Amino acid sequence: MARRALPALALALALAAAIPAAIAQETTTEAPDLAALLECRGSYQGFIALLPLQMDPLAAVSLGWRPQPQANPFMVEYRLNTPVTVFGHQSDHIAFAGDAILAVLDLPDPRPLARELGLEAGIDTPQKALFGLEVRAEEVPGGDGQGGWIESAVVSVSNVDSHPGKTLAGCSYSRDPLEPDEPEEPGTAAGASPGVALPR
């Protein structure tokens, strides 16, 4: 499937979504494939399975993650006992930010990595850089007669004021309900060209 740029690039750093209570009651004890999740090779379900760790520091410690002081109100950070390699760069520092999991890389400028990954610019000023690209969007059927979903994964690379000299690189995962097909407008001739759909 062709990769699609997100026009607004409303990525993880602008989000601070609360963890649903039902999810927070669950825990995970299996070591996740962090590299796959960070590089958008993981699944939405794999990402959701990690969210309860933000509510249970002991569970995070059992995986070899060390909770860190919150330097940014939109991020929950951990140091890893075993570093992870993300987009060719090694790091022992990860963060959750809304719907994203991010690696904190020792790269003072995110732009070279963004160019290497072929990302689209959302913000590119001397002070702030934010790049992203949707690399996967898949239809998932609903169960028990329910409507389906679109699961998407967006690679993002950025900097942030709270972490000078660092680059945040990772993936945002989302699941949105499929919108029902709109009925044909009265008087539309068969074979007429439909209106152009706006990108998501």
Q: What's the pTM?
A: 0.75
Report if residue 194 sits inside a domain: no
Report if residue 98 sits inside a domain: yes
Residue 78: burial class (beta carbons within 10 Å; 0-12, 13-18, 19+): buried
Report if residue 29 sits inside a domain: no
Structure tokens at 31: 């070591």
pLDDT in the model for residue 180: 64
pLDDT in the model for residue 146: 74
Each residue of 144-168: pLDDT tens digit? 767 789 999 999 999 999 999 999 9
Q: Are 15 and 74 in contact (CB under 8 A)?
A: yes
Overall domain count for the chain: 1
Q: What order of strands is seen across the sheet that includes strand 65-67?
A: 65-67, 76-86, 89-97, 100-105, 167-177, 149-158, 129-140, 120-124
Mean pLDDT score of the chain: 81
Q: Are 5 and 133 in contact (CB under 8 A)?
A: yes
pLDDT in the model for residue 11: 36
Report if residue 72 sits inside a domain: yes
Report if residue 197 sits inside a domain: no
pLDDT in the model for residue 72: 95
Report if residue 108 sits inside a domain: yes
CA angle 56, 63, 98 (to 5 degrees): 55
Q: Which of 54-68, 69-83, 175-189 has the lowest mean pLDDT?
A: 175-189
CA–CA separation, 96 vs 111, rounded Å? 21
Report if residue 58 sits inside a domain: yes
| SS3 sequence of 24-88 | HCCCCCCCCCHHHHHCCCCCHHHHHCCHHHHCCHHHHHHCCEEECCCCCCCCEEEEEEEEEEECC
Each residue of 37-59: pLDDT tens digit? 999 999 999 999 999 988 898 99
More confident residue, 146 or 136: 136
Q: Which domain does 135 fall in, by range?
A: 12-19+34-177
Q: What value does the CA radius of gyration of the chain take, rounded to a whole number of Å?
A: 19
Report if residue 7 sits inside a domain: no
Residue whose pair of structure tokens reads 């996967």 in the numeric block: 136
Residue whose pair of structure tokens reads 């060719």 in the numeric block: 88
